[in-house]
Structure 1
């Protein structure tokens, strides 16, 4: 009987140890929760949400006004919550907040979740910063050009465009009028009128002029599309054009996008007229012709850029662009890379942009954020420019400028906004983007008043 009792006791102890071990293993392996986008955002708070974690008994919620959680919102420093959401209250309208969460099982606590950003609706009561962009930028230890895309018709003396450009911007890019189609009317025949007006305006007002763009598949004049000569003769026509334009603006245009958007979204070379008629080395040829023309004209300081879009979120495209860059660098033909950055208020992420741009920095290239705008209505889910989207856009502009400003001095060139007023932008109702509704992607509203995005740009310089 005694032996039987001892066997039972041993089995019981073994069972307890096994249970304890299983429990500890479960707790030790407590998964990291995933925080979700907030719901019910209002002037004073929002509902924070996260996914269920197996074995967790509660969750620890942090809310902060800083992304690194250097300080916490009162009552939200590891606040214990037993549900999968928590209504955060007592916040300030029009303010940026961040939240994260950890899972908890008695004494075991998981790693931190991802960080979620949220901007409360309403107004913080702080007026927009009226400081001129280039004035604040020029005070930096390592300044850069602040650019704007323009049309020749906007450059009338005393117009709102003229006043804002002279006050705010240190660089301009032609939106369309310096591309091949409007300049080249026939073989060896050029219409310089609009392009000359833009270049003269910049030169006369101490504003840098960036040339955009020598070769782009969507700006080919009809005569060249229909060119009936041989492929070799076609290439000579492109060479003649590039040589004429670079020579005409030698010393007046400080940089050129030599080739624009040559890579398809699938990561292959875009199937264009230039590729078909000139072969896979056409990009290198165009850069060589531009470099030769500049040198022959005595413009040895001309900067040559390759320019493209959506490389931060498309790794196949990004990889192809950098393979082109490597080929051009091997021939000492490229000085910089243009990142268009037609972004949205939620994407790309800061990490995606940094990864993309840092690849160019590592190759010693100058960086041009060349066509920046930030959509707030990509899904056409709002009919008016809401406070929530206004403030989210402000933070995205701030993030982009902070990221750019942090680049080494040698890699900075310009950060160019693609248009002045929201109603001038190409984004609203764009068939190319399948953007079916209105949008408000720029720094000024339809009345030339600065927006919160303008303030965000300024805050990014701090």
Structure 2
């Protein structure tokens, strides 16, 4: 009996010791450090910091200019550090760096810490990439048009607009002057002056012209808004306008946004004068009339687009847009979808944009990123264009261009920037956006100088 007790007792002790050993080994596992925000940031360096890890003998510090650490700064690929910080010097001003750290004990190395981003002060000594956008885009295996929104007044020979457009861009869209309001003076009466100037500029200089837009609820002339005739007569006026405009520009304009922004932010048809007077089938009717006019004029290659904004993050709106697109496609009336992309440096996300665009790709439609600009001050929290926001914007332009460049060749059409200079963009002066004068959304500053966003665009083509 005594022997049995001793055997049981010994077994129990061995089991407890084993458990204790396992627990101690788990407790003594080398933890990953927690990296802290950089301190003492200046024009040429910063202090990288991290939290103490119990039992760590040293730390291994990585520093890179890319968040994925594909490359490392010289001497900062697993650099041994015995302290809880490291002063990093000899860096370039106005540049974003990333650091991470691991703990080390004998031969054991922990997992990586979180990644810290830090932007040095001052101005970068690295110049922006001056490569012309269309030159790089045209050299791609599957090229596409690089577009710019323009005003007729900018298109004077020898102006800075003229020089940049001819060097950099292979497509243009009228910012406003090819919409209904400036063209349609009265029933059957038209002012073609500004629109003709824009189209002639493109045609004379070998630049593609995209027509924007035949039907948009914001650009309805007063005579049509207050039209006294019947709904059927109203519909005939719209048909006549579409027919006359498409016919006038037949063979000169490659594509048209037929209907613009027909879906509201709740995912329903927008309650416009066209919906009220023509009914919910008005979108199909407008496309049908545009197609008939083009065919009658012999312009059988004319591309017809539906164009809208903010569909990537707004799923109800996105679904409604594709419901309209599916109906148009079933009737063989549509060639492509325009994604305006008036985005911010924070949103939509890469996944949201890709998901949205790929829905159109899967339907065999052309993709036009039609009105691209990127706000850097959506919360009105900065009064100057900081290095951080400059680089955030650069990264977002790169991301969007890279997404577009990755779609199949058959689905590519154009990627159009909505304006040339920051100070002429609609964004800083839009009351609803609430940051008057304080945004810098485009590729050129007020002095026509290229920005980091321009370099980001080019990097997206790599």
The TM-score bracket by the shorter chain reads 0.7 to 0.9
For the Cα contact (< 8 Å) 2:313–2:352, is it kept in 1? yes
For the Cα contact (< 8 Å) 2:373–2:418, is it kept in 1? yes
Report the Cα distance in structure 2 between the residues aligned to 1:47 and 1:266, rounded to whole angstroms.
Answer: 48
SS at match of 1:211: strand
Query: Are 2:89 and 1:70 equivalent residues in the alignment?
Result: no
For the Cα contact (< 8 Å) 1:303–1:335, is it kept in 2? yes
For the Cα contact (< 8 Å) 2:119–2:387, is it kept in 1? no
For the Cα contact (< 8 Å) 1:61–1:81, is it kept in 2? no
Report the Cα distance in structure 1 between the residues aligned to 2:38 and 2:59, rounded to whole angstroms.
Answer: 16
TM-score (norm 1): 0.85
Equivalent residue for 1:320?
320
Q: Offset at 1:203? A: 1.1
Query: Are 2:361 and 1:361 equivalent residues in the alignment?
Result: yes
Equivalent residue for 2:128?
128
SS at match of 1:351: helix
- Bigger drift between 186-195 and 33-42 goes to 33-42
Equivalent residue for 2:310?
310
For the Cα contact (< 8 Å) 1:97–1:118, is it kept in 2? yes
Q: Offset at 1:405? A: 2.1
Equivalent residue for 1:406?
406
Equivalent residue for 2:427?
427
For the Cα contact (< 8 Å) 2:145–2:414, is it kept in 1? yes
RMSD: 3.7
Equivalent residue for 2:227?
227
For the Cα contact (< 8 Å) 2:254–2:302, is it kept in 1? yes
For the Cα contact (< 8 Å) 1:120–1:388, is it kept in 2? no
For the Cα contact (< 8 Å) 1:367–1:411, is it kept in 2? yes
SS at match of 2:343: strand
Equivalent residue for 1:438?
438
Query: Are 2:236 and 1:266 equivalent residues in the alignment?
Result: no
Equivalent residue for 1:389?
389
Equivalent residue for 1:55?
none
Q: Offset at 1:443? A: 1.5
Report the Cα distance in structure 2 between the residues aligned to 1:325 and 1:102, rounded to whole angstroms.
Answer: 51
TM-score (norm 2): 0.85
- Bigger drift between 224-233 and 183-192 goes to 224-233
Q: How many residues are treated as equivalent by the alignment? A: 455
SS at match of 1:432: helix
SS at match of 2:213: strand
Larger Rg: 2
Query: 1:163-242 alignment to 2 at 5 Å?
Result: 163-242=163-242
Report the Cα distance in structure 2 between the residues aligned to 1:427 and 1:87, rounded to whole angstroms.
Answer: 42
Q: Offset at 1:353? A: 1.9
Q: Deviations over 1:286-314 (max 9, x none)?
A: 11111111111110000011111112222
Unaligned segments of structure 1, at least 5 residues: 52-57
* Cα pair distance change 1:257/1:49, threshold 3 Å: farther
For the Cα contact (< 8 Å) 1:211–1:255, is it kept in 2? yes
Report the Cα distance in structure 2 between the residues aligned to 1:363 and 1:117, rounded to whole angstroms.
Answer: 40
SS at match of 1:185: strand
